[in-house]
Amino acid sequence: MCGIAGIHAYLKVAPPVDRAELGRMNDRMAARGPDGSRLWLDAGGRVGFAHRRLAIIDLSEGGTQPKHSADGALTITFNGEIYNYRELRAELQGRGYRFETGSDSEVLLQLYAEYGPAMVGRLRGMFAFGLWDARSRQLLLARDPLGIKPLYWADDGWTLRFASQAKALLAGGAVSADPDPAGIVGFHLLGSVPEPFTVWRAIHALPAGTTLIVDATGPGAPRRYYDVAGALAARSAAPPGDPASARQRLAAAVHESVRYHLVADVPVAVFLSAGLDSGALLGTMAQLGAREVTAVTLAFEEFRGGPLDEAPLAAEVAARYGARHVVRTVDRAEFDRDLPAILDAMDLPTIDGINTWFVAKAAREAGVKVALSGLGADECFGGYPSFTDVPRSVRWLRPFDWLPGVGALARRGAAAAIAAGLKVHPKMAGVLEYGGSWAGAYLLRRSVYMPWELEDLLDPALLDEGMRRLAPLGRIDAVLRGGDALCGFDRVAALETSLYMRNQLLRDADWAGMAHSIEIRVPYVDPFFLAALPPGNVLAAVNAKEAVADIPQPALPPASRGRRKTGFVTPVGRWLSEAAGSSGQTADFSTASRAWALRVWQAGWSGAAAS
């Protein structure tokens, strides 16, 4: 796990790479790589790479980057881990390739030499990299299938720049900070910025599961090599099998994924909540032979002794599997002290990530470098209310899609009721207008604000342009393109995986974890794992969310099964209420999300919209 950056002056008339600019970009990512820092420029000064190293695989100098092929023709700067690199290395050795190090980055170079850009389809892991091919004079940018690791790029028509952080591109000093209305509207609408947008017009997120080739004429269009809906559709074509075999497939898939995610030359810990998903990871680690595992649990002073206190049950699970248990308690004062650092580390505005910030901070204090997280399990196993609510909404409200104007009329009536002081949630105004389509029902479920509410928050011109370019319903619909045969469960899984998980949860795990130099691994977020699972309707039939408890042996304790799902939450809503001088009662999720979104925006990014 690392931080990467690069500059490619692809037009002959462009100025050569500025080493000082590259150094500033690298310095902005110092927390991502405390174990080493290096810059490289090619002899002609047309390409430069930077790398910050967090040493996980091959701790020797052999793992240092940027790394070159033996003949010097290929150079890579790589962020992430390739879990199947040993198998790939053995395959390449069988084809006559020689290796000088034990690093996965060298495997990437040799794999590219054999397969070219198509090599990305053979990788099991999380990755983002830039690879320079001096023979073809081409730069390849690539990002892993599900978007675990970020990659941002900017092109001014002369020179292309890329980095692991959008803020690193700005730190270089040559990329414009002009605001992007689409990204700004996206944040206010959804609580995160949907790719490929950022809040800066010049900076783009390379979409998950795509590659980008830059030649002498500049960057081409990103090429998609992985699609979530397509992958789920292929899985659905397999024979469903009986419930017993489905549970066996589920257990086998989890065991295999965890085994791959334990590949490291340093100890691997786990973030342990009181939920089933992280407990199953710890139990599987123990079953696979991992010993003296550190399990890190986050607790909050406000929750002590109450139903939201995760520590007691997590302690029972840790003891069951012989883990060293570290409980880290956070209070309001620490949150206030850390808030400036949180906003600085937050690469793009988001309403989430606070829990990951503090659990990663606790892991660093405990001497941990790598930790497994249960992130992604809810998207696989149907753990969100959306798996019930969205299909039900479409089923019940689809007839209203055939009655033009009814939804808009109902929204105006509900808005009038709200203005009159009636206690109606603002989203209720859009139920008839949006609830009858998959995209609209999903937007109702996941939005922080609905589109018509943004008129009171954003400049009208910015809002108009942002909504036009963002086209939220069309963007959501595009996720399901090619998935017409998917069952309702898999449709929601595709939406949650491609939108909420990718744009919010994974991005938050990256910036919050790397701010503390912690590599967060996510065994439930793996295309090989998804492909090995039964179809979604079968997962729903066997109640996969609860079946996870039986995967480890011994199984998770009864108390874990009986605990009501609360999510991995923080008392931010209460803290915000107290800061505003109110009673300090815990706000409901929607109210807290809106308050936190406004505070994040005003504290960290509101100047971008006014610049």
For the chain, which domains are there?
2-226 (3.60.20.10), 234-381+501-563 (3.40.50.620), 386-490 (no CATH), 571-611 (no CATH)
| Closest to 290 (Cα-Cα) out of 256, 257, 323, 254 | 323
Whether the CB-CB separation of 360 and 342 falls below 8 Å is answered with: no
Whether the CB-CB separation of 557 and 284 falls below 8 Å is answered with: no
User: What is the C-alpha separation between 66 and 44, in angstroms, rounded?
Assistant: 17
| Closest to 393 (Cα-Cα) out of 444, 429, 447 | 444
User: What is the C-alpha separation between 443 and 454, in angstroms, rounded?
Assistant: 14
Sign of CA dihedral 557, 562, 567, 571: negative
**In this predicted structure, what is the pLDDT of residue 571?**
81
User: What is the C-alpha separation between 175 and 160, in angstroms, rounded?
Assistant: 10
**In this predicted structure, what is the pLDDT of residue 425?**
64
Helices 438-446/472-479 angle, 10° precision: 110
| Long-range contacts formed by 524-527: CB under 8 A, 24+ apart | 524/257, 524/277, 524/374, 524/375, 524/376, 524/377, 524/379, 524/380, 525/146, 525/148, 525/375, 525/376, 525/501, 526/124, 526/146, 526/257, 526/260, 526/261, 527/145, 527/146, 527/226, 527/231
Three-state secondary-structure class, residue 573: helix
**In this predicted structure, what is the pLDDT of residue 584?**
47
Please give the DSSP secondary-structure letter assigned to residue 485: T
**In this predicted structure, what is the pLDDT of residue 317?**
96
Profile the chain (611 residues) by mean pLDDT over runs of 10 residues: 93 96 97 94 96 88 90 96 97 95 95 97 98 97 98 97 98 96 96 97 98 97 96 86 90 97 96 95 96 95 87 96 96 92 94 93 97 97 95 88 60 60 65 88 93 91 97 96 89 97 97 97 97 93 92 92 63 67 54 80 68 37
Burial of 456 (0-12, 13-18, 19+ CB in 10 A): exposed
User: What is the C-alpha separation between 14 and 9, in angstroms, rounded?
Assistant: 6
